[in-house]
Structure 1
Amino acid sequence: MFERLTEVKGCLDRLIAHHSHPQLIQLHQGLCAALQLVQPKYSLLHQVADWLTQIADLLDPAGKPLRSSEQVQEEMLDYLVKIETISNQQPDLQPFFQTILKTTLNYAPGLFHCYDIPGSPRTNNARESDFRDLNRRLLRTTGQKGLTRRLIQRTGPWELLHRPDNLQNAILALSQIAQPDFAEERQRIRQHRDRFRMHTRSQKQSSRQLSKLEQRWANLSPNSS
């Protein structure tokens, strides 16, 4: 915002230099006063933004030689020492540094090990995006909110796996599966779903299930007197 308003100020400078107008001058004066008021805070935030940019670049493996988790962690700690020195010289930066330090230490146990596994994503953002897409797709096809967890629990995480992008490719993929393997997997899914047969949110269905349970229980041998 500060940078955009600075651009507006530059534009006003050129407009006034070309053709002055009282309203332009008034706007220019008000804008200059506002920018001058927030300039100190902007300088601090700009410094912190630069820190975060440097940290993001440090952690990004793209365009860099392969590094082990220990190497990346050492580089990160060295950079934290560097910005700590800067923050000690400017006390107003201390709260920002402490937040960066605390966040880094909190995430440190799971932040660096991905560098030891080639191709491993550094974050779970892509997986979270998959869950959001799944939620939207299930809401669109079933009309039910909160169905994702129940569906995954009852049918398995098939919705999260890579799948053919159209019906023709799906038929082609399924046609390559041996019939015994298909039958075995179908039976496994049925057995898995049976575990959730008594799970329901419907009061009427719950009553029917309890009634059936009582009927089945009545067929057992009564307690001996």
Structure 2
Amino acid sequence: MQKTEVLWAPIEQAYHWVHRAVHILNNHENGSATQVRVQYDALLQEMADHKATVGSLASAIEQFLKVTASFAPGLFHCYDLADLPRTNNDLEQCFGAVRHHERRATGRRGAIPGLVVRGSVRVVAALATRLHHYTAEELCLWDYHLWRQVRERLTYREEARRRQFRFRKDPLVYLAQIEARLLQT
């Protein structure tokens, strides 16, 4: 035990930093994104300034700082937006629920092509209904022009998907039709 005693201080310090990071990110004080970010940045600066004190764990601290810097732009939004999933696991659970319902509705076990075309509407609707049960009045069409824009985008995607299918089904016929249209103009 006495031989390894010198190794424990750096481990204890690194462990303390990680636990402080967890405490800050858990945000039990319900601070804003800016407040959490300021606290977290102060901790990261402390870690960067004193990483030499943890000996051989300095490379692990450097990696922690590097990974945190790459995630930093999107790390703090969840503190200002109440229903935004806080972790990748929470986000995956949301999308997993959408995939589960799509599989139940379509009977397909694999990827659902309809999500590629209509995902911008179906995924948003599925996630929104997890947070709130809407009444008929809330679901009424309020902005006809906005609805038309969404419909146009969906129609465009459906047509692109149809063209892909036609090309895969018979590429020579598809290309001949395009060539004929090109020569007509």
Band of TM-score, shorter chain: 0.5 to 0.7
TM-score (norm 2): 0.60
- The 1:202–1:192 alpha-carbon spacing in structure 2 relative to 1, beyond 3 Å, is closer
Deviation at 1:110, TM superposition (A): 3.0
* Equivalent residue, structure 2, for 1:145: 110
1:102 equivalent to 2:102? Answer no
Kept in 2: contact 1:88–1:94 (CA 8 A): yes
Looking at structure 2, the residues matched to 197 and 52 of structure 1 have their Cα atoms a distance apart, in angstroms, of 51
Deviation at 1:146, TM superposition (A): 3.2
1:93 equivalent to 2:65? Answer no
What pairs up with 1:1-225 in 2 under 5 angstroms? 47-64=13-30, 66-67=31-32, 69=34, 71-84=35-48, 87-112=51-76, 115=79, 117-119=80-82, 121=84, 122-123=86-87, 125-139=89-103, 141-147=106-112, 150-163=113-126, 173=136, 177=140, 188=152, 189-190=154-155, 192-200=157-165, 206-207=169-170, 210-211=172-173, 214=176
Q: Which has the higher contact order (CA 8 A, sep 6+)?
A: 2
- The 1:202–1:83 alpha-carbon spacing in structure 2 relative to 1, beyond 3 Å, is same
State the superposition RMSD in angstroms.
4.6
Q: Deviations over 1:80-123 (max 9, x none)?
A: 343456542331321221122212222223334555x4536344
Q: Give ranges in structure 2 of 5+ residues lacking alignment.
A: none
Deviation at 1:55, TM superposition (A): 0.3
Identical residues among aligned pairs (%): 20
Q: How many aligned residue pairs are there? A: 174
Deviation at 1:56, TM superposition (A): 1.8
Q: Give ranges in structure 1 of 5+ residues lacking alignment.
A: 1-34
Kept in 1: contact 2:44–2:65 (CA 8 A): yes
**Greater Rg, structure 1 or structure 2?**
1
TM-score (norm 1): 0.52
